[in-house]
């Protein structure tokens, strides 16, 4: 789809987030196509993102793990 959009001159905007937060990673409209296909983007303003293992230890870039983030966009909790 990304390649077809590029051929048609359509710009893509990719955002990543969970139900409990607004998007916290963004690929900018002017970023190259490769960024859309191989990453979830940059951390949004005021957001910290890292990848952790099962023991919640921070992993180096390029390793698989769980995304952990914090920032003003993450909600405080559910109302019961």
Per-residue pLDDT reduced to its tens digit, 5-37: 778 888 777 777 677 677 777 777 777 777 777
pLDDT at 5: 78
- As a whole number of angstroms, the distance between CA 71 and CA 9 comes to 34
Across all residues in the chain, what is the average pLDDT? 81
Q: Which of 52, 14, 53, 17 is nearest to 33 (CA)?
A: 14
The residues spanned by each domain of the chain are: 2-70
Tokens of 30: 């002017």
pTM, to two decimals: 0.63
Distance (Å) of CA 77 to CA 8, 20, 21, 80: 43, 8, 11, 9
Answer for the pair 7, 14: CB distance below 8 angstroms, yes or no: no
pLDDT at 54: 96
Kindly state the percentage of the chain with pLDDT values over 90: 20
At residue 73's C-alpha, the angle toward residues 48 and 46, to 5°, is 40
């Amino acid at each position: 789809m990304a390649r077809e959009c590029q051929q048609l001159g359509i710009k893509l905007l990719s955002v990543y987030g969970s139900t409990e937060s607004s998007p916290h990673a963004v690929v900018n409209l002017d970023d190259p196509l490769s960024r859309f296909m191989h990453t979830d983007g940059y951390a949004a303003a005021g957001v910290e993102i890292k990848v952790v293992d099962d023991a919640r230890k921070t992993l180096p870039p390029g390793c698989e793990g769980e995304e952990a983030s914090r920032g003003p966009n993450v909600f405080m909790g559910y109302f019961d």
